[in-house]
Amino acid sequence: MQIPLSATLSSLRRGLDLRPDQMDTTNLMPIFVPSSFFSIGNWPGPYSRLRAPEIGLTWTLLLPNQGMRYVDFAMQEYWEANQLDWKALALGNLGRRTNGQPGLRAIRRANGEVSALAFMFEDGLGPSRLLCRGTLEQQFPAGYRVSMPEMSCGIAFGGDLEGQEMATVQGVIDACYRNGTRPLSPRTYDPDDLLPSLTAS
C-alpha cells in the first residue's frame, strides 16, 4: 500500500520529538546503509563498519506510515543504563517481523529447488533479513552468498550457482541496483563479509 508522503513526514516529525524513554523498542531494527554515511564522522549514533568496506550497519526505530528514525547516542545511553541488550532485541524484533509476513520471493531451479531468495518487505528492511544466518544456512546447506543491491532489497542465493542460473540471479541484482531509488551495492558477498570489520575502531 502506497503511504502518502504527507503522512510519512508527519510521522517522522512526531518521532523526532520522542524522548528515549518514550521509544517503542519493539520497533527497533538493524539496518544496512552505505558506509559513506559514516565517513564525515558526524553520524549521530552507534554503527559498525563491516568487512565489506562499502556497507555499514546501524539501527533504526520504525515509525508509523513507513517512517523511521536512526538510533542516536541518547537512546543507546538510556537503554544501556537500563541494562537493555538492545542489539539482541533488534535482531529478535527482525525475526518476529519476518516470520509469516509477505515480502519473501523465491527463484527456483528447473527441478523446483530454491536457487535464490529475495527479501523485499513493506518495512523497507529487506537486506536486514540477511542477518538471519541460521535460517539461510538451513535453506542453503551447501553454502550461499548474499547481495544488497538496494536499501530495500536483500538477496541470498546458493553458492553453487553457475551458468544460466547464476546469470538469472545476477540479472535481478543488476536491475535492482540500476533501477532502485536507493542503490546500495552491485557486488555479491560471503555472509562473513557482513560481520564487523576486524580493523574497525
pLDDT tens per residue, range 12-39: 456 566 788 988 999 999 999 999 999 9
Its domain, for residue 56, covers 24-98
| Within a domain: 30 | yes
Contact 130, 150 (CB under 8 A): no
Low-confidence ranges of the chain (pLDDT < 50): 1, 5, 7-9, 11-12, 200-201
> Residues 117, 37: one domain?
no
Grid coordinates representing 146? 548474499
The residue from 54, 70, 98 where one domain ends is: 98
C-alpha pair distances (Å), 141 with each of 104, 107, 190: 19, 17, 14
Structural domain count of the chain:
2
